[in-house]
């Protein structure tokens, strides 16, 4: 029986991956470098350290990534303050269901604590969650399972009794490695069939997870 549900954030809870691509490109324009959308795919779902490594590998060891990320983060904060955080379909319905059923919930995101907290607060969903694990709280990024293991620990629940919800390739790999249930909710990136092999289920939106939970939880 599932005792806890662990949510990825960007692309899963919030419809922010599309925005992220825009922010990376706009920052590149300010820096005078091209940041192709295809390049951003390689670090979707990964933590700040892994993204930094990807930029230095592509643009060289002298690239001022700290300044680059500062500008990109400012653009995101400005957007959030002005327009809020776009929610993914079915998020509130699922969170309200979990709250009603007494099933504990956690956020496990590769985003750093400060930005993630800002988004969670602005979206008005903090009260639904019992625990939070951020990208700067673990040493290894997804596809390693560390952030999900940390979230389960914060919940006080065995990871084998948790359901992980993910959208990205690295996230699905990390969820599988964690050892609990893993449901894929597609977003921008197509997750290859070989990566999805062995997952619990795939649904088009978060509210469909309610039916799976109501059915007692099983591989479908």
- Which residues are known catalytic residues? 8, 10
How far is the C-alpha of 35 from the C-alpha of 120, rounded, in Å?
27
How far is the C-alpha of 119 from the C-alpha of 168, rounded, in Å?
19
Contact 11, 137 (CB under 8 A): no
Structure tokens of 181?
Answer: 């249930």
Residue with tokens 């954030």: 9
How far is the C-alpha of 205 from the C-alpha of 197, rounded, in Å?
19
Structure tokens of 27?
Answer: 């920052």
**Whats the size of the chain, residue-wise?**
220
Contact 46, 26 (CB under 8 A): no
How far is the C-alpha of 152 from the C-alpha of 83, rounded, in Å?
32
Contact 135, 174 (CB under 8 A): no
3-state secondary structure of 127: helix
């Amino acid at each position: 029986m599932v005792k806890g549900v662990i949510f990825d954030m960007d692309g899963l809870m919030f419809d922010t991956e599309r925005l992220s691509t825009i922010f990376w490109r706009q920052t590149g324009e300010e820096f005078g470098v091209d940041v192709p959308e295809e390049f951003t795919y390689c670090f979707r779902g990964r933590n700040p350290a892994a993204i930094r490594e990807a930029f230095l590998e592509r643009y060289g060891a002298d690239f001022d990534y700290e300044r680059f990320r500062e500008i990109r983060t400012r653009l995101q904060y400005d957007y959030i303050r002005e327009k809020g955080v776009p929610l993914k379909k079915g998020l509130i319905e699922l969170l309200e269901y979990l709250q009603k059923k007494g099933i504990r919930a956690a956020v496990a995101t590769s985003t750093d604590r400060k930005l993630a907290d800002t988004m969670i607060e602005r979206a008005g969903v903090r009260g639904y969650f019992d625990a939070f694990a951020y990208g700067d709280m673990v040493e290894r990024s997804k596809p390693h399972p560390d952030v999900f293991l940390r979230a389960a620990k914060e919940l006080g629940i065995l990871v084998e009794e948790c359901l992980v919800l993910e959208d990205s390739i690295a996230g699905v790999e990390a969820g599988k490695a964690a050892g609990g249930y893993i449901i894929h909710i597609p977003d921008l990136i197509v997750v290859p069939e070989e990566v999805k092999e062995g997952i619990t289920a795939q649904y088009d939106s978060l509210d469909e997870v309610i039916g799976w939970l109501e059915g007692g939880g099983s591989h479908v």
